[in-house]
Structure 1
Amino acid sequence: MTYPSRLSSNLQDALHFAAKHEGFNPENAMPLIEEELTEKEYQLANEFLTWVHSNNKTYGWNLLEVYAEFHQQQSSQ
């Protein structure tokens, strides 16, 4: 998958909502937001949350910084 360098505002809103209500585990968070996302946004959100969860990361106001770290790591693989 090619990862965009920026998150859409819709995806940012969905990720904040998911984190606030279900945390960072994609198994819990994705069902909450899946209907709000396009297919590509869903795939990206799932991969990002999986990475966040497996690397014991969190985000809040720093979502874009954490996504930049994810993006950099995925782009270098």
Structure 2
Amino acid sequence: MFRQHGYQNYHSTVEFLNGIALGQFVRVQYDGGGAFGVWEGTYQGLDRNGNVLFYNLFNPASNTTLTGVTRVKVQSINSITTN
């Protein structure tokens, strides 16, 4: 699923996230995700502050792992897919 910035697309992203199971493996590209772009990790849900929670994000291009929970603002997500 790809999205552009904007009110309608924000809700599309939230609807998509609400449709997948907690613990689902996802690939996500987001603003601030670095030069290598796509990260893989486990979806952990949404918090009250408008953040999407991911567990152990891994970037295969740079071989980097963000251990623990990573919070990403919904508005900064450019694309997210499940396998």
Answer whether TM exceeds 0.5 for this pair. Answer: no
Could you say which structure has the higher strand fraction?
2
Which protein is bigger by CA-based radius of gyration?
Answer: 2
TM-score by length of 2: 0.30
Could you say which structure has the higher helix fraction?
1
TM-score by length of 1: 0.32
